[in-house]
Every structure is written in structure tokens, then in C-alpha cells.
């Protein structure tokens, strides 16, 4: 084995095994590999997760009296974050360090009101982010009345399919939206990632720019191809098929993303549009065909455009 490669892998494992959950998972890997559906259900059981974490249990049950006791106790002073398990849910709470964010996520109105009245959330807290995920309009209203701005979080309502929240924010804040030039453009990107077809069409009807690119120079078609969202791919191509050749920051086109993610259906759709260029190379001087597995190569080889480009 290459000594240099071995030392790099060894260093990587030593660094990553500091996380006890990761360590437990790796050393118990053989048992996790077994096709034990009942164990999986038990691992991801929400009741199981909550039962093993006192703070999480208090917030989920929205027990404000127990929360007050807990915050005043020594356990809160020594342990202010929750424990995650290998199959910990919800995923989007893993980075949360403030209990007020957790209260927003679970729609725990009583706990949230108490925390808002008695504690000041850090300025970098993402209360709006977690509140939108909760889908709890009452939580949104409470934060809105406290002066929390939801306009710049509108895109997350698209991503998490909280369509009612999306339209509530629009209706309540329409007088502030006119100067947010890229608001609907960003929403378009998030809809493409999460296959939120309803809001994708709404944003297009609201004059969102289908050619808009994010800071990775990726457009909505690029994300729709990566995440295998057929209907959005069709809409993008039928609206402006030339965006199919737009390179992102790594030089990849939507076709590159579809091929690398083994989305045969998306590749077939892309190749059916005449504007899609098969010869574009990414930053590694590779075309999409260079990344294709055997099944996808067959799709390419059956396509007239590839034959023409080889002539």
C-alpha cells in the first residue's frame, strides 16, 4: 500500500473517531449491516430518541414548568446541548446549540414564549429557519410579532414544502418584497432542489429568472438534474433549453450532474433536447460521457447527436 496514502487515511480516521457516535457506529458496523428492519425502526423511533434526552423530552412535550426547573438545575449548566445517536432525527437539528431553536422546530409554543421572555437568543440564531421547518404558523406569528424578519427565509419555505407558510409570508410582507430583487430567484433554486413543483411554477409566474445562478454558479436545471426531479427538468428545458449548457463553478453542466448521479431518466430527457451540448468538458477535461456507467453509455451511444459529434 502507498505509505503516504496510508498515513493520510490513518490521520483521517483518528480525527473523525473522536466523535463517539461515529466510533460506536464503525465498531458496530457488522451488526448495522444486517437487514434488521425492526432494529432500524427502533433506532429511529422518535419516542426512543426523546426518552434518552431529558431536555429534548421537555421541549417536545412543551412542558414549560419542567423547562424552568431544568434551566435552573445543575444539569443545564453542565450540559446545554442534546446528544445525537447514529440514527438521530431530525437531521436539521444536529447543528442547533440553543434550546430556543429546538423549541421553534417542534412548535413548542409555551416553551418558546417562556424562552423569548426570559432569555435573549444569540444574534446568529436561526429561529426563523427552524420555525419554518416546523410548519407551525403560530410559531411564525409569535416570532414575527417579536420583530424577527422572515422575508430572507422565504426560500426555506420552498425547500421544506411549507407552502402555506410561503404564502403567509408573502401576504404579510408584500409591501417589503418589491426591493428584494433575487428573492424569487433564490426560491426557484430551492424548489428545484426539493421538487416543490407548485412553488416552482408560482415563482416562474412571478417573473423569477430561470437563468439565475447561485454562488456556485448553478441554476435550477443543474439542481433538478442532480436531485432527479423530472417535471422541473422538463419545465426548465421547455422554458429556456440553452441553460442546459451553463457551467457551474466546477465546470460541470446539468448533464454532468445527471450522469454522475446515475439518473438515466434525466439523461434521456436532456439528450432529447437539441440545444444540449454533449461535448462540453468540465474542469477535469471530461465530458459527461466520460463519467457514464455502462447503462448510461448505452443511452449516449443510441443518441444521434453523439454519433454526429464523433463524425
**Mean of the per-residue pLDDT values for the chain?**
83
Query: Looking at the 3D structure of the chain, how many domains does it have?
Result: 2
Q: Are residues 140 and 42 in the same domain?
A: yes
Query: In the prediction, which pLDDT does 180 show?
Result: 77
Query: In the prediction, which pLDDT does 53 show?
Result: 76
Q: Which residue has the higher pLDDT, 96 or 283?
A: 283
Q: Which residue has the cell 451553463?
A: 246
Helices (H) and strands (E) in the chain, counts: 22, 0
Per-residue pLDDT, averaged over 137-157, amounts to 95
Q: Which residue has the higher pLDDT, 173 or 47?
A: 173
130 falls in which pLDDT band (50, 70, 90)? very high
- Bond from prior residue into 153 cis (ω within 30 degrees of 0): no
Q: Are residues 247 and 144 in the same domain?
A: no
Per-residue pLDDT, averaged over 165-176, amounts to 92
- The helix/strand/coil state of 91 is helix
Query: In the prediction, which pLDDT does 33 show?
Result: 63
Task: Give the separation between CA 151 and CA 171, rounded to whole angstroms.
Answer: 11
Query: In the prediction, which pLDDT does 98 show?
Result: 80
- Position 169 in a domain: no
Q: How far is CA 268 from CA 197, 230, 258, 298, 310, in A?
A: 20, 11, 10, 11, 19
Give the residue numbers spanning the domain of 248: 210-310
Q: At 195, which helix (H) or strand (E)? A: none
Q: Domain boundary at 148, 167, 193, which?
A: 148
Lowest mean pLDDT among 41-55, 63-77, 111-125: 41-55
CATH of the domain at 283: 1.25.40.20
Contact 216, 248 (CB under 8 A): yes
Per-residue pLDDT, averaged over 65-86, amounts to 65
Contact 130, 101 (CB under 8 A): yes
H-type helices in 45-98, by residue range? 46-51, 54-60, 64-72, 74-78
- Position 219 in a domain: yes
- Position 163 in a domain: no
- Position 170 in a domain: no
Query: In the prediction, which pLDDT does 86 show?
Result: 45
Query: In the prediction, which pLDDT does 40 show?
Result: 58
Q: Which residue has the cell 483521517?
A: 12
88 falls in which pLDDT band (50, 70, 90)? very low
Give DSSP secondary structure letters for 120-149. ---TT--HHHHHHHHT-HHHHHHHHHTT--
Contact 304, 272 (CB under 8 A): no
Q: Are residues 56 and 140 in the same domain?
A: yes
Q: Is the pLDDT of residue 50 over 80?
A: no
- Position 221 in a domain: yes
Sequence-ordered list of residues with C-beta below 8 angstroms from that of 219, at least 6 positions apart, any chain: 189, 210, 211, 212, 213, 236, 243, 246, 254
Q: Is the pLDDT of residue 52 over 80?
A: no
Per-residue pLDDT, averaged over 131-159, amounts to 95
Q: Are residues 129 and 231 in the same domain?
A: no
User: What tens digit of pLDDT does each residue of 182-201 get?
Assistant: 899 999 999 999 999 999 99
User: What tens digit of pLDDT does each residue of 241-286 get?
Assistant: 999 999 999 999 999 999 999 999 999 999 999 999 999 999 999 9
Q: Domain boundary at 130, 148, 166, which?
A: 148
- Position 276 in a domain: yes
Query: In the prediction, which pLDDT does 263 show?
Result: 97
Contact 234, 197 (CB under 8 A): no
Per-residue pLDDT, averaged over 141-155, amounts to 94
Task: Give the separation between CA 42 and CA 51, rounded to whole angstroms.
Answer: 12
- Position 22 in a domain: no
Q: Domain boundary at 120, 148, 176, which?
A: 148
**Residue 216, CB-side half-sphere exposure with 13 Å CA sphere:** 11
Query: In the prediction, which pLDDT does 174 show?
Result: 84
Q: Residue 276 burial (CB < 10 Å; 0-12/13-18/19+)?
A: buried
Q: Which residue has the higher pLDDT, 156 or 38?
A: 156
Q: Is the pLDDT of residue 81 over 60?
A: no
Q: What is the DSSP letter of 288?
A: G
CATH of the domain at 97: 1.25.40
pLDDT over 70 percentage in the chain: 71
Q: Structure pTM?
A: 0.79
- Position 222 in a domain: yes
Amino acid at each position: 500500500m502507498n505509505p503516504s496514502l496510508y498515513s493520510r487515511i490513518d490521520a483521517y480516521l483518528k480525527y473523525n473517531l473522536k466523535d463517539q457516535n461515529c466510533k460506536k457506529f464503525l465498531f458496530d458496523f457488522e451488526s448495522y449491516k444486517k437487514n434488521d428492519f425492526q432494529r432500524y425502526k427502533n433506532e429511529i423511533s422518535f419516542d426512543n430518541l426523546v426518552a434518552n434526552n431529558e431536555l429534548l423530552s421537555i421541549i417536545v412535550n412543551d412542558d414549560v414548568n419542567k423547562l424552568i426547573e431544568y434551566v435552573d438545575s445543575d444539569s443545564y449548566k453542565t450540559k446545554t446541548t442534546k446528544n445525537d445517536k447514529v440514527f438521530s432525527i431530525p437531521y436539521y437539528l444536529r447543528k442547533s446549540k440553543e434550546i430556543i431553536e429546538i423549541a421553534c422546530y417542534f412548535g413548542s409554543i409555551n416553551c418558546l414564549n417562556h424562552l423569548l421572555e426570559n432569555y435573549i437568543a444569540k444574534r446568529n440564531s436561526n429561529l426563523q429557519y427552524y420555525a419554518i421547518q416546523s410548519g407551525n404558523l403560530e410559531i411564525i406569528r409569535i416570532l414575527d410579532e417579536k420583530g424577527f424578519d422572515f422575508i430572507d427565509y422565504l426560500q426555506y419555505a420552498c425547500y421544506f414544502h411549507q407552502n402555506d407558510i410561503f404564502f403567509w409570508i408573502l401576504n404579510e410582507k408584500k409591501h417589503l418584497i418589491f426591493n428584494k430583487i433575487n428573492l424569487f430567484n433564490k426560491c426557484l433554486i430551492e424548489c428545484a432542489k426539493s421538487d416543490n413543483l407548485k412553488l416552482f411554477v408560482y415563482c416562474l409566474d412571478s417573473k423569477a429568472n430561470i437563468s439565475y445562478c447561485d454562488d456556485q454558479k448553478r441554476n435550477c436545471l443543474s439542481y433538478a438534474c442532480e436531485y432527479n426531479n423530472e417535471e422541473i427538468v422538463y419545465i426548465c428545458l421547455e422554458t429556456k433549453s440553452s441553460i442546459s449548457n451553463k457551467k457551474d463553478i466546477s465546470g460541470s453542466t446539468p448533464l454532468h450532474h445527471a450522469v454522475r448521479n446515475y439518473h438515466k431518466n434525466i439523461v434521456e430527457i436532456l439528450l432529447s433536447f437539441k440545444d444540449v451540448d454533449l461535448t462540453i468538458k468540465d474542469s477535469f477535461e471530461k465530458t459527461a460521457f466520460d463519467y457514464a456507467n455502462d447503462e448510461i453509455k448505452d443511452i449516449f451511444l443510441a443518441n444521434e447527436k453523439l454519433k454526429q459529434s464523433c463524425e
